[in-house]
Amino acid sequence: MAFIKTEDCDEWKDESKERDFQKSVYELMVYEEDNQSVDSGLTFAVVTLEDTDEVMVVASDWLSTDQKQCYWPPFKSTEKYLEAVKSNLKPSTGEKPWEKLNVLFHEKYDTYEEAVNYQVEQRALKDRLNFYKVVTLKKSNELTVIPAIWQNEERTHCYWPPFKSPEKCTEAVKNRLEPPVPSRNPWEMLNIQVHGECATYEQAKEKQKALKEQKERSTLHPAPASSLQISRFSPHVTKRKHLSETLVSGTKRKRDCELSDSSRESLLTTDMEIMLKAKQIMKRVTDNLAHTINMHNEIISKINKMYTVNRKKATIGIFGRAGEGKSSLLSAILGEKDLLPSGCFGACTSVVTQVEANLTDSNYTAEIEFISKEEWEKELEDLFRDLQDDSEDRNDDLIEIAEEKITALYGADADQKTLEELKKDDKYAEIEKLMSISKKTISKSDMSEFASDVARFIQHSKSSPGGWYWPLLKSVNIKIPDCHELLEHIVIVDIPGTEDCNKTRDDLWKSKLSECYSVWIVSAINRAITDRYPWGILKHCSEELGPGRECKHINFICTKTDDINPGAYMRSARLPYTNDMDQKILCIRHRNEDVKTKVKEKFEKSEIKKKFRTDSDFLQVFTVSSNAFFDTSLNLESAETEIPKLQDVLRSLNKSINRELTRDYVSEAKGVLSLIQSVQLDTDKKAAEMKVAIRMDLENNLKVALSEMDKYFDNISNDLEKCLSKGVEESVQSCVASAKALVAPKKDGRGFHKIIQTLCKNYGCYWHKNCDAVLDLNKKLAKPLHENIYENFSQIFPVSGKTGRSVQEQIDKFTIIQSDPAYLRSSVIRHIQNFVKTEESKLKELLNRETVELGKDIYSSIIKTIQNEMSPCYEKAAALTGTGSIKERQDMLVNTVNEKKHHMFNKAKMEVLKKLNQLKLHIKDVLEPGLKKAMDLSLSQSINTTLMDVSREIDQMETLLKQ
């Protein structure tokens, strides 16, 4: 058992219970996305261990026949325990016999995911009941402390004991004495106003005292309401242990009053409590329905499916070369210095690295995926071929990359050997063994141990070559505990430029790029304006981030703002000398504002802006200092480091997604309850006739709405076809000249033949080592087509907002529900319409999300078609060697473009139109059967069937939706 001492009170707190509470609060709707389904033949049980009072998931076979005892494995490792549960490992009676524990059995489930969901809810409920509330008794206007269990479900009243002695009342509060049943000495029910909650009685008393003092001060000196709202992050928080106290998602909860009452109530009430309350309501309904006849199994199944959250996380992509401070930046945002291993971002020059919250346990975890053994062997041959190139026009960048990769893996002298000599080395055999596995997971509870174990896979040290495995990696997924509030629904991805020829990695980073909700460009502040890297890579990637994409924001983050020479800066900026403040702080502030202005001006004047929206807030500039955030000796206020601003960016996005998920669940729950209510016995003899009539109307409305959808797609397809035809005409005319200019410029420069060879190996694209120059023949050939459809496509698939022509607006307009007073006189009919409308909304929301993905696919199909048509040529050209091979390679590329131009560009045009038609068919294939099933479910029930009256539950869901 681990204990910690908080800084705000002297008592020792149980850290494991604190962590369990946080997991309970924030994992209500979250499951590990890559968690594989367990064999459907297995079942799982949720139990409470009587000795420790812990709620756990176990394999059903571990339970005794009477379900009062449970076998328990002797594993100390959490991972081994979870593996034993998932695989239903049989209890051992051999050398290490399993212990038998007394348990309280709760529920049994067919899947592990459902069992974990129930476990989380029970933990949350249990921990919430152990809280204390600070309330005002409205009858006496007295500010006091009560146990959470005295509060009613609506949080409007509380039970109050009949003790006349203040000492007895205090003792009852401290011990959380449960109110007796009403027939035995009933307690009084008092009207209350809730101000907040605390984990311990002492903390609640401190909060009570602070509120009293605040009330007294406000009475004497009234202040504006805004001045009472204190930031969730103290401006002077500079260490993880301080920051974790300000983060609700940390290992320790907030201990003082820095978190305002409104923020606390908003977070818990809006996000966690509403979801928990809604699930509790649906659980009671499910339990009741379980005792009815089989014809209602589909309703129960519908409720059970609501527990599974399957939503893609929002992706934030980070660009920035190694050494720009990306790892330090994210460590600061997540609240602990050196939280992410140094070199986590950037050392792996072509490896996609991502960071997200660990939502399953409190360990630091790295999931490492390797490229295949065959891919590495082919890549290694190419690297040695580059090393052995001693011609006059050899490419130094490629040689440097080859040396870096080979020495990183095999040691300092490995690049001096031949490939045959290297294969005889012990390290070669060791790496071959490592390549026999496709994935590796590292999981540690201690951050330092984790950083040490994962370092050899993601870092690189030129001073100590050998044993650094990043050249073998395809991707690295790092999961950080205790950051639910910031990253529960977000994944941060380092998106590198890929200068090597590994198509697997190339395809991976491009797919990640197209998923980005937001992009962060990271550059040291002293070269944010002049460095070609961030602007060059952003320009090249604008196609992947532009029309039809998800990118809603670009944040340009200038790092290392504290790294400044005051004297030199004051001279260059012509700042007057002053004794009024620290000269370094003055220079930092001046440079920060100056750089922000210049970055925005450069973006406004650049071609890049044309590919994105023109909203004024699309590009935001942040000037940050990770060092100053942790080091108070630099005398820079926490807010001035702008780390809190970036935390707010993540928190706001995370909270909005959480709210959407909660709203969607409650809305769907209300719809299902309306379905149940519509099946009730109806005394109205015309109810059956009304059902027949409403079915006919709904089916007719469906036909009309689908016909409108057809007309809409016919119109946008015709408009797009005209633009594409013009693009094809321009492409045919300009493609040969464009290809010559790119692959056969008049001045080749040293090493150009290697550049073209690499371009061919990478199927048409070459990245300069510094990523500031990119040659992409496919993109060059696709440019006329993209330019001609840009305006039209941006209206059909906008990033956000309304254009009057978008697919998503057409989906939103689609409805088969039309209000008819004649129908709505019957409560049963109203419930039927509520259910069908809920199902319709759910289908439309799903289609709106899918439309974003399918829109990306339509836009990128132009380049993909061109690349596929050119692929045979690329492969043949890459294989050419010997004297004169560069001229032969250039001619082959240009001639192929000329030969294929009519067929290739027309095929790209037809591919766009085909995929647009497939989108239409997909939308109709989702809406039509989905809505017909909703009709069947709500209108084909027997009118003589009686279930339970859920009118009260529907009202409760209405209240939750309003909240």
Dihedral, 53, 59, 65, 69 alpha carbons, nearest 10: -20
Q: Is the pLDDT score of 337 beyond 50? A: yes
Give residue-wise pLDDT tens across range 633-650: 777 888 889 999 999 999
Contact status, residue 101 vs residue 72, Cβ threshold 8 Å: yes
What digits encode the pLDDT tens for the residues 32-84? 333 433 344 678 999 988 877 788 899 988 998 888 899 988 887 777 888 88
Average pLDDT over residues 325-345: 78
Is pLDDT above 60 for 329?
Answer: yes
Taking 80 as the threshold, does the pLDDT of residue 249 lie above it?
no
99 DSSP β-pair partners: 72
Mean predicted confidence (pLDDT) in 910-929: 96
Question: What percent of the chain stands above pLDDT 90?
Answer: 24
Best mean pLDDT range from 194-208, 269-283, 393-407, 549-563: 549-563
Among 585, 409, 545, 548, residue whose Cα is nearest residue 858: 548
Please give the Cα distance from 365 to 479 (Å, whole number).
5
For 474, phi and psi rounded to 5 degrees? -100, -45
User: Is the pLDDT confidence value at 253 over 70?
Assistant: no
Q: Would you call 955 helix, strand, or coil by DSSP?
A: helix
CB atoms within 10 A of CB 94: 6
Most confident option among 137-141, 260-264, 524-528, 928-932? 928-932
- The pLDDT-based confidence of 874 (bands split at 50, 70, 90) is very high
Q: What global pTM score does this model have?
A: 0.68
Provide, for the chain, the percentages of residues in helix, strand and coil under a 3-state DSSP scheme, each rounded to the nearest 5: 55, 15, 30
DSSP per-residue string spanning 687-733: HHHHHHHHHHHHHHHHHHHHHHHHHHHHHHHHHHHHHHHHHHHHHHH
Task: Identify which of 332-336, 418-422, 536-540, 700-704 has the greatest average pLDDT.
Answer: 700-704
| Whether the predicted pLDDT of 23 surpasses 70 | no
Q: Which of 236-245, 452-461, 575-584, 807-816 has the lowest mean pLDDT?
A: 236-245
- Partners of 103 in the beta sheet? 49
The residue ranking higher by pLDDT, 820 or 663, is 663
pLDDT number for residue 749: 57
| Mean pLDDT calculated for residue range 516-544 | 81
pLDDT of 509 reads: 65
Would you place residue 810 in the very low, low, confident or very high pLDDT band (cuts 50, 70, 90)?
very high
pLDDT of 468-519, one tens digit each?
888 888 888 999 988 888 999 999 988 765 444 455 556 666 677 778 888 8
Question: What is each CA distance from 641 to 13, 235, 588, in whole angstroms?
Answer: 32, 10, 10
Residues 260-275: tens digit of each pLDDT: 333 333 433 556 778 8
Q: How does pLDDT run across 744-785, given as a tens digit for each residue?
A: 887 655 567 778 888 898 899 887 665 556 788 999 999 999
The helix/strand/coil state of 554 is strand
What pLDDT was estimated at residue 896? 96
pLDDT at position 663 over 70: yes
Q: What is the pLDDT of residues 207-217, one digit of tens each?
A: 888 888 777 76
The radius of gyration of the chain's CA atoms, rounded to the nearest angstrom, is 32
pLDDT of residue 303: 74
3-state secondary structure string, 392-428?
CCCCHHHHHHHHHHHHHHHCCCHHHCCHHHHHCCHHH
**Residue 903 burial class via C-beta count within 10 angstroms: exposed 0-12, middle 13-18, buried 19 and up:** exposed
Residue 110 falls in which region: left (phi positive, over 0), alpha (psi -120 to 50) or beta:
alpha
Q: In what order do the strands lie in the sheet with 132-137?
A: 142-147, 132-137, 188-198, 157-160
User: Beta 188-198 vs 132-137: how paired, if at all?
Assistant: antiparallel
pLDDT tens digits, 413-460: 888 888 888 888 888 888 888 888 888 999 998 888 888 888 888 877
Could you give the CA distance from residue 537 to residue 319 in angstroms, rounded to a whole number? 8
Under DSSP, is residue 347 helix (H, G, I), strand (E, B) or coil?
A: coil
**111: CB partners within 8 A, 6+ apart:** 37, 38, 40, 44
Whether pLDDT at 255 is above 80: no
Distance (Å, whole) CA 416 – CA 4: 54
574: left (phi over 0), alpha (psi -120 to 50) or beta: left
Q: Are 123 and 56 contacting, i.e. CB atoms less than 8 angstroms apart?
A: no
With beta carbons less than 8 A apart as the criterion, state whether 238 and 635 touch: no
Question: pLDDT band at 150, cuts 50/70/90?
Answer: confident
pLDDT of 251: 31
Q: Who contacts 60 (Cβ-Cβ below 8 Å, separation ≥6)?
A: 42, 43, 44, 45, 88, 108
Tracing tokens 């071609």 back to the chain, one arrives at 607
**What tokens does 226 get?**
């805004």
Please state at what angle helix 827-879 crosses helix 885-939, rounded to 10 degrees: 170
* Phi and psi torsions of 412, nearest 5°: -60, -40
Q: Phi and psi for 154 in degrees, rounded to 5?
A: -80, -5
Are 123 and 132 a contacting pair, CB within 8 Å? no
Tokens of 458: 């993601």
pLDDT digits (tens, 9 = 90+) for 684-725: 566 667 778 888 889 999 999 999 999 999 999 999 999 999
Q: What is the mean pLDDT of the chain?
A: 78
Contact in structure between 149 and 175 (CB atoms under 8 Å): no
| Residue 197 in tokens | 């909650």
Q: In Å, how far are 38, 96, 112, 304 from 56, measured between CA atoms? A: 17, 22, 12, 20
Reported confidence tier of residue 561, pLDDT bands at 50, 70, 90: very high
| Structure confidence at residue 297 as a pLDDT band (50, 70, 90) | low
